[in-house]
Chains A and B, each alone.
Chain A
Amino acid sequence: METYTLIILLLAATLRVATPLLLAALGGMFSERAGVIDLGLEGKLLGAAFASAAVSAVTGSAWLGLGAGILTAVGLALIIGFACITHRGNQVVAGMAITLMVGGLGPTLGLAWFNLGGQTPQLDGAGQRFTALVWPWAQTAREHPWPGLLYAELLSGQNLLVYVAALLVPVSGWILAQTRFGLRLRAVGENPHAVETAGISVTWLRYRALMISGVLCGVAGTYLATAASAGFVRDMTAGKGYLALAALIFGQWRPWPTLGACLLFAFTDALATRCQGVALPLVGVMPVQFILALPYALTVVLLAGLAGKTLAPRALGIPYAKDK
């Protein structure tokens, strides 16, 4: 029984940790399937986190915060697009530049607006955050742990953005595989010249892909600042954008495997949290440093195991020039 409860709680933590990773990774998927490397994920997450926390703090509405987060991330994505699509700049450099710029800009604006050393005020008013939605009978269900706890802890009690993220996996799968837009988007990442020959604008397609990435990063950043925590703190994304990119590559640029990768990363993270200070069979209590390094070590091992097998979009990272 105890093990069962432990597993349920582990899985619930996995969902919470995986949500921002998944949203960002799906955003990156649209961008990369269209042939644009999305190293700006981290920057877009951070920018959205800041904007959503700031707007929510000022207006008192998490929804307006979400809107601001999305607008900011889309704006940043358009800057990357302007540099990489219109001017054919280096995509890696543009993404890194955005990330570095936001890392400094957020706290600076925050300092100027709120005078709290780059943080935003704590969000504690009603409606300022996306809080857990409790489904009907969740409390009653707890009394019958099997399968009540599953229902109460996993299905119920998550916030809205978690459900949105889960829903987006089949939706993006459908868009990429079934719709005309999705097919063209994938084509532009494999062979943009062929797409142009068919009379479709490569530029406009790639811009749209980047904007979708912006929207999803906006939701992810909002999740971090207004659902998972209550306000913006300097560098609060803590590398989640890069981890999402790793999950995307590990997931071979496909929605369902990417979901699996995000869940795996999140699960190791949740597991690491719970293994700290717990005596494990055979080995006893592990040093904290070892436990904390575990998710990253696993990432390296998993990605190394995939070496040579990656199925990256063929035109990924190559700026498109019409006349070549």
Chain B
Amino acid sequence: MLAFVSPALRAAGDFLPAIVFDFGGKFDRSFNQSASEGAERFKKETGVAYREFEITNAAQREQAMAQLAKRGATIIVAVGFTQASAVEKVAKQFPQVKFTIVDAVVDLPNVQSVNFREQESSYLCGMAAALASKTGKVGFVGGMDIPLIRKFALGYLEGARRVNPQVEVFQNMTGTTPAAWGDPTKGAELARSQFGRGADVVFHAAGATGLGVMQAAKDLGKLSIGCDSNQNYLQPGSVLTSAVKRVDVAVYTAFKSAREGKWRAGPIVLGLAEQGVDYALDEHNRSVMSAKMAEALNAAKSDIISGKLKVAEYRTP
């Protein structure tokens, strides 16, 4: 296998970064897009081009990574938890190639695992939802039912309960397969069902499915909360805030540190303190997010950073 990796392919000092996107594609206006923005920023700043691959079916992952490694990639960033098994396999085959996986942990000497404390930003969004809700009922629409999404849901629930202990939180998952990340029709239907039961703010953690959630909120004159990327601009005035997850920073840092020789294998966890996650406030949501609300969120934020406030993390039962 190693015979394929001819050193001649890669002249000394030739730095070739690569990125493999997950289901949903790099224009999902959410998780993958954020990753893509990080890679673009790196390209713009350094002038180094990167290779990319968008997954359309599960079988392509391993092949794509092996292909990129064979063709001389220095570092391969795999975005998304579904890539973990592929990274594990390919990283063993190409021990001299650096791998960074986002949202999963792969314990190998040449793999860096970047994870986020999504519960912290979700907690702030839960607070925002409960503060903005007039009915005392808020909703959550998840994509695929996996521990990562449960982590969002739990943080959201805790945040909402802190503001209003009596708050009712409706929770729906779109599906149990990766197709659940790309079904906006279903997302809209789930959101409508929650609005129908009295919710007036719905938070989505569902990739492209969430676009349907936000559309439904807009159509019905309710509020939605975006996820991963700052999605406030998608439906201005109807998006309360977004649980921003700086996948772009993770990708950018991985590329940059690898180029400068500072890249280290092992686990990295980014939370509010590391500015890896946050809630979004900009000109698109100022009309719905009052200064008082932002103040409450910022207070909770500094409490979480200082460790005064602990947000529970979802653990698989």
Chain A residues at the B interface, C-beta cutoff of 8 Å: 6, 9, 12-13, 16-17, 116-119, 122, 124, 131-132, 224, 228-231, 233-236, 238, 270, 273-274, 276-277, 288-289, 292
Contact = CB atoms under 8 A, between A and B. Distances in A.
A270 B192 CA distance: 11
Given A16-B189, A230-B211, A288 B182 contact: no
Nearest to B183: A238
B188 interface: yes
A116 B30 CA distance: 13
A230 B215 contact: yes
Interface in B167-197: 170-173, 175-176, 179, 182-186, 188-190, 192-193, 196-197
B185 A119 contact: no
A276 B176 contact: no
28 contacts: A6-B197, A9-B193, A12-B196, A16-B189, A16-B192, A118-B27, A119-B25, A124-B235, A131-B219, A229-B184, A229-B188, A231-B211, A233-B208, A234-B25, A235-B179, A236-B182, A236-B183, A236-B184, A238-B186, A270-B189, A270-B193, A273-B172, A273-B189, A274-B193, A288-B145, A289-B145, A292-B173, A292-B176
Nearest to B198: A5
Contact of B172 (A270, A276, A289): A276
A236 B184 CA distance: 7
- Best-surrounded residue of A117, A118, A235 (most CB of chain B within 10 A): A117
A116 B27 CA distance: 6
Contact of B176 (A228, A273, A288): A288
A172 to B, nearest CB: 24
A175 B60 CA distance: 48
Contacts of B173: 276, 288, 292
Interface residues of B, number: 34
B212 interface: yes
Contacts of A122: 211, 234
Nearest to A104: B56
Contacts of A238: 179, 183, 185-186
A229 B193 CA distance: 15
Interface string B42-69: 0000000000001010000000000000
B26 interface: yes
A117 B28 CA distance: 8
B184 A117 contact: no
B120 to A, nearest CB: 23
B185 A276 contact: no
B193 A233 contact: no
Contacts of A230: 184, 211, 215
Given A229-B185, A238-B185, A238-B186, A13 B171 contact: no
6 residue pairs, one from A and one from B, having the closest CB atoms: A117-B27, A9-B196, A117-B25, A229-B184, A116-B27, A228-B185
A274 B198 CA distance: 13
A230 B188 CA distance: 10
Contacts of A6: 197
A116 B90 CA distance: 29
Given A233-B184, A277-B171, A289-B145, A13 B193 contact: yes
Contact of B182 (A124, A132, A224, A234): A234
Nearest to B180: A292
Interface string B139-169: 0000001000000000000000000000000
Contacts of B182: 233-236
Interface in B198-230: 208, 211-212, 215, 218-219
Nearest to A116: B27
A192 B185 CA distance: 40
A323 B227 CA distance: 63
B81 to A, nearest CB: 18
A13 B219 contact: no
Given A6-B197, A229-B184, 18 more contacts: A9-B196, A12-B196, A122-B234, A131-B219, A228-B188, A229-B188, A229-B211, A230-B184, A233-B208, A233-B211, A235-B179, A236-B184, A270-B193, A274-B193, A276-B171, A276-B173, A277-B171, A292-B176
Contact of B215 (A9, A224, A229, A277): A229
